[in-house]
Chains A and B, each alone.
Chain A
Amino acid sequence: MTSREKILQQIKLNKPSEMALPSNFRFDSNFENTESKFIETLTAIYTEVIVVKNKEALLAKAAELYGAVVNRATTIPELGGWADFSLNVSDPHELEMIEIAILQAEFGVAENGAVWISDKYLSHRVLPFITQNLAFVIPRKALVNNMHDAYERLLDTTGWGCFIAGPSKTADIEQSLVIGAHGARSMVIFLIEEEE
């Protein structure tokens, strides 16, 4: 008998009798204002939120914030001229040089400040982790209240996706919080006002 069969047979013999799946496992978070809750949560996790009118304003803001930085990458077509680092590489190790990446995220979650990114807009999974600094762009309308709402949006998943909430951090040395463990050392979120 293979281990697979052995394990499954043992489980079948030993498992408890039928228990039903709870039907009530979703809860509403009736935030007065989803966007201000989102911003408040992100501020608490060391992330700046910047509201910009449209992609042109975003471009101006990006130039202002990161003008002096070399090795800028983006997945947002309108920022193509701003970037000086091409993501057209076949080996993800080459992304090691990136200082700042501005990426399209799909939506954000107010209760915990997480944004969802996935294969859908990301050609290299390692990009949001390997870059030294990270910014996400989300349409202002794409905010949900809590994780139950988030999974409602996520029914159709891709090969990989991730909730990211703030910059990389650790508190493994005497519980002192340090920002920038392995992943991004800083994070900014741009909310775009005018987006269809």
Chain B
Amino acid sequence: MSKAIIEHSVASETFNKDEPYVNWHDETLWFVRQKRDKSSKLLPEWEHLREAASGIKNYVLSHMDELLTAFEENAKQNGVHVHWAADAAEHNEIVLGLLKQHNIDKMVKSKSMLTEECHMNEFLSRNGIDVIDTDLGERIVQLRNEPPSHIVLPAIHLKKKDIGDLFHEHLGTEAGATDPQYLTEAARQHLRDKFLTRRAALTGVNFAIAETGGFVVSTNEGNADMGAHLADIHIACMGFEKIIPKQEHLGVFLRLLARSATGQPITTYSSHFKKPREGQEMHIIIVDNGRSTQLGRADFRNSLKCIRCGACMNTCPVYRRSGGHSYHNAVAGPIGSILAPNLDMTKNADLPFASTLCGSCSNVCPVKIDIHDQLYKWRQVLVKGGHVPQAKEIGIKAMSIVLSQPRFYQWSGRLGRSVMRTIPFMVNNSMNPWYKQREMPEPPKESFRDWYVRNRKE
């Protein structure tokens, strides 16, 4: 893909132009975040579950190779074919090769962020394969020719009217129709036809179990199952970090996943695939694509614990007000901003800065990834490596000088407060990037330190 990347700050500025729309986007995601809160509060053991999930994933990180080889062996014994792909290109070639081998040029796919990461759809379509996304949200963005803007809610950035217009054009629904029930029914009929006629199905993998060689796919719509059980060939693609040691560990992860994602106690369908059904072929592709490099970065390897629930996005004040597309990466939001620089530091140097570092992401993460700390660490790595635009670099250098010298810090704070009070236009202008989309605060008359010094004397 040679599309020029628009920096997050620029893209979010465009996004912010339509204020009622941004407010709506913000509130919609906050609503999902609140559902997560309610649902997690119903489990007294919630924090212990997070602790357990994080611990199991620590074990996974430190035994990754053994777990993967055990998984491979068991899967093979179950009659499943196992493939390994070092990068996106190899993954795409394997999928294409399997389809060609069976003379198949049409495939149904259920949601898989890994195939988004690999830009598989574009690759396959260039090679004459027609891929239909079957998750409703994914199908919507596919018809619009754009990537998903959220890993769990792919079309969260669209309004009913956008979808009504889109379906009118592509599925022949009535012009101006916006009723979600009606539109969903139209998609159901349209996709049922695809399920019934396609011989190949591709799914993602939520969890792969070393002990059994099986894997779990979770959906609310049932589209992964509809595709896989009707097709002659089922291809499942997984980033290698999806592995867990034992089946019983699923108890922990399935309790956390849907509650963190949407507030549901569990997704409607949690399908456990182990052996192909009679007459069917089942393939698993284990993909690296930079993951083993990330595993070697001590500060960032925890990002590989991610179970892709999307909670960090729903809670992030920056994501909610800038939209998933502004992150120009398959996985958006806080976790995407940690994963992306691993793939390409230059292209994605802006992303770790797309955060307030408020820590809300780390607080909701079901596997306790230190998300905001990692974002902070990436900033330092990227600045040191010279991947950051100069203006930002100068700002950061100035900041570190100020912060490392207490007297200078006190003096500059006093100066800043008096400037803001006496000549506010010096800061409330468009030259100051902090003023964008923000009201500058009323400056306090004295600093906390001055107040403290004064009050301690009394």
Contacts and interface: CB of A to CB of B under 8 A. Distances in A.
A38 B274 CA distance: 28
A160 B216 CA distance: 10
A152 B265 contact: no
B225 A3 contact: no
Given A21-B56, A173-B183, A183-B226, A166 B268 contact: yes
B342 to A, nearest CB: 12
B213 to A, nearest CB: 10
B352 interface: no
Contacts, number: 244
A93 B198 CA distance: 11
Contacts of A19: 55, 58-59, 61-62
B222 A129 contact: yes
B222 A183 contact: yes
Contacts of B195: 182
Nearest to A10: B292
Contacts of A109: 266
Interface residues of A, number: 72
B136 interface: yes
A181 B187 CA distance: 8
Interface string B217-233: 00011110110011000
A62 B136 CA distance: 32
B84 A183 contact: no
Interface string A122-162: 00111001100000000000000011101110110111111
A160 B295 contact: no
* Interface range for B: 35 or more
B78 interface: yes
B214 A157 contact: yes
B197 to A, nearest CB: 9
A124 to B, nearest CB: 8
A151 B248 contact: yes
A59 to B, nearest CB: 28
Interface string B255-290: 100000010111111111111110000000010100
B159 interface: yes
25 contacts: A8-B65, A8-B68, A8-B69, A15-B62, A16-B62, A125-B229, A125-B277, A126-B229, A126-B230, A129-B226, A146-B255, A147-B251, A152-B248, A159-B275, A160-B272, A160-B273, A165-B266, A168-B221, A169-B220, A169-B268, A170-B184, A173-B140, A174-B158, A176-B180, A182-B191
Given A13-B296, A41-B265, A157-B214, 7 more contacts: A12-B65, A14-B295, A15-B61, A92-B230, A126-B225, A174-B159, A182-B226
